[in-house]
Structure 1
Amino acid sequence: MASQTETAVADGPGLTSRPLQCQVVTPEKTVFAKTVDFVALPLFDGELGVLPGRAPLLGRLGYGELRIKVGGASESYFVDGGFAQVRDNVVTVLTNRALPAAKIETNGTAERLDEILKRPAVTDAEIAEKAKAVAQLRAMLHISNKR
C-alpha cells in the first residue's frame, strides 16, 4: 500500500486524487453540497478557479457568477458577496444570497436596474447604497444573459 507521500508524488506536485467538495450556504439554507471537478469563485477583486489539491485560502466574495463543473456539465449561480474558504479539497461559500442562473428574471432585473439608475442619490449613504444595488443587478444581468 502506498503512503500519502508516494500517492502525492504519483499524482504530481500539489495534485491529489481526492474529489473536490463544494457547498454554498446562505443564512436561510444550504443551497447545495456537491462533489465537483472545478469551482470558479467571484472574489471582490477578480475570479479564482479552484481544482482539487488547491492550497488553503480564505477570500472575500464580490457580486458575481459562481460556476461549478461536474463531468462535462456546468452550473452557474449568482452570489451576493460573502466569503469563501478552500481547505482540504472542500470549498465552502458563505453568502447572503445564491440564485441559480436559470431563476434570474432578465426583464425584471433590467427594469429594477433602470429604476435605480434614475433614482437620485445625494448623501454618502445613498450613493453607497445605489452603487451596491447597481453592482448586484449588473452582475445578475451578466449571468442571465449568458444563458
Structure 2
Amino acid sequence: MTYLKVEIVTPDGLSYTCDDAKLVVVRTIDGELGIMPGHTPIIAPLAIDEVRVKKERETTEQDIIATNGGIMEVRDDVLSIIADSAEKSTDIDVPRAERAKLRAEARIEEAKKEQDIDRLRRAEVALSRAINRINVSKK
C-alpha cells in the first residue's frame, strides 16, 4: 500500500510530520487541491487556510493544521510545506487568537480612517490569520 509522507516546516523547525497519509487537502491561491499518493510533481503557493491530512479512507478522522500561507511541493510521494507558522487544531491558543482578531479589526478601522492602504492590507492579513486559527481550533 502506498502512502504520502507529509512534512510542514516553519522557521522554528519541523512543525508536523506524517508518514502514512492517504489524502491531503490544501488551499492554494488558485483553489482547493487534493493530493494522494502517486500525485504528479507540483509546486504551488498556499493561501492562509487549513491543511487536512487524512490517514485512512474509511474514517472521517483527520489531522487539521492551521497554516499562514506558504509554499507546497509534491514529489515522489512526499508533500512538503514551508510556512511562516503551522499549528495543529489541538495546539491553538484560542484566547490569544481571539485577541489577535480584535487587534486586527481595530487596526483595519484605523487604517481605513487614515486611508493607509499598506496598513490596511497588513491588518487584513493579520485578521485572516486569526480567523483561520479560530476556525481550525473548533475542528
| TM-score tier after normalising by the smaller chain length | 0.7 to 0.9
Q: What is the identity, as a one-letter code, of the residue corresponding to 1:37?
A: K
Q: 1:120-144 deviations in whole A, cap 9, x for unaligned? A: 1132221111111011111112111
Deviation at 1:46, TM superposition (A): 2.2
CA–CA distance in structure 1, aligned partners of residues 97 and 35 of structure 2: 29
Q: Give the number of equivalent residue pairs.
A: 130
The yes-or-no answer on 1:105 pairing with 2:98 is no
Measure the CA separation in 1 of the matches of 2:104 and 2:11.
Answer: 26
- Residue 56 of structure 1: aligned partner: 41
Q: Secondary structure at the match of 1:132?
A: helix
Residue type matched to 2:100 in 1?
Answer: R
2:10 paired with 1:26: yes
Off by >2 Å, runs of 4+ in structure 1: 105-108
**Unpaired stretches in structure 1, ≥5 consecutive residues:** 1-16
RMSD across aligned C-alpha pairs, in angstroms? 1.5
Question: What letter corresponds to residue 26 of structure 1 in structure 2?
Answer: T
1:117 counterpart residue number: 105
Q: CA deviation at 1:108?
A: 2.7
Aligned residues with identical type, % of pairs = 22
- Residue 89 in 1 paired to residue 73 in 2? no
Q: Structure 2 regions of 5+ residues with no counterpart? A: none
The structure whose RCO (Cα within 8 Å, separation 6+) is larger is 2
Rounded Cα–Cα distance in structure 1 between residues aligned with 2:79 and 2:97: 29
Compute the TM-score of the two structures, normalised by the length of structure 1: 0.80
Structure 2 counterpart of 1:42 = 27
Q: Which has the larger radius of gyration?
A: 1
Counterpart CA distance in 2 for 1:53 and 1:95 is 23
- Quick one: distance in 1 between partners of 2:24 and 2:134? 21
Distance 1:43 1:20 in 2: 19
